[in-house]
Copies of this chain bind each other. A is one copy, B any other.
Amino acid sequence: MTGHDSPALEVARAYYQAWTGKDIEAALRHLADDVVCDAPAGRLQGIEAYRRFLGPFSEMLLDSELLAAFGDSTTAVLVYDTATPLVASAPGAECLTVRDGKIVHNRFIFDRLPFEAARRSAG
């Protein structure tokens, strides 16, 4: 009962490997066309909105470390740390719902405050 192997987690891991490997197009192929993402700034709908949200972050990623990954038949949770030129350590969590092998919903949690602070001091 470790939850480290599940249908939803398999999809989540592939998506995570792709976006943290800067292959955003491969990551998006794991999403349903009508994916809904509840991100810190609000709800995103559809793959194009998801690309605009995650693509720029994926591109500037210097490093990432997966801290925990669990799942069951429909839900997967990923917890990780990220490093970018803006913020040296910015942990995130994603709670993904998978249906028919595609991510249909994601609740994306991270702290926007250090990114805002970095942008203000750069701007």
Which residues of A are in contact with B by a Cβ distance under 8 Å?
1-6, 38, 40, 67-68, 70-73, 75, 77, 79, 91-93, 95, 107, 109-113, 116
Which residues in B have their C-beta under 8 angstroms from that of A91?
38, 107, 109
Q: Quick one: copies of this chain in the complex?
A: 2
Which residue of chain B is the closest to A95 with respect to CB atoms?
A: B79
Contacts of A6 in B (CB 8 A): 1-3
Nearest CB of chain B from residue A109's CB, rounded to whole Å: 5
19 A-B pairs with CB atoms under 8 Å apart are: A1-B1, A2-B72, A2-B73, A3-B3, A3-B4, A3-B6, A4-B72, A38-B91, A40-B113, A67-B107, A68-B75, A68-B95, A70-B71, A77-B77, A77-B79, A79-B95, A91-B109, A111-B112, A113-B113
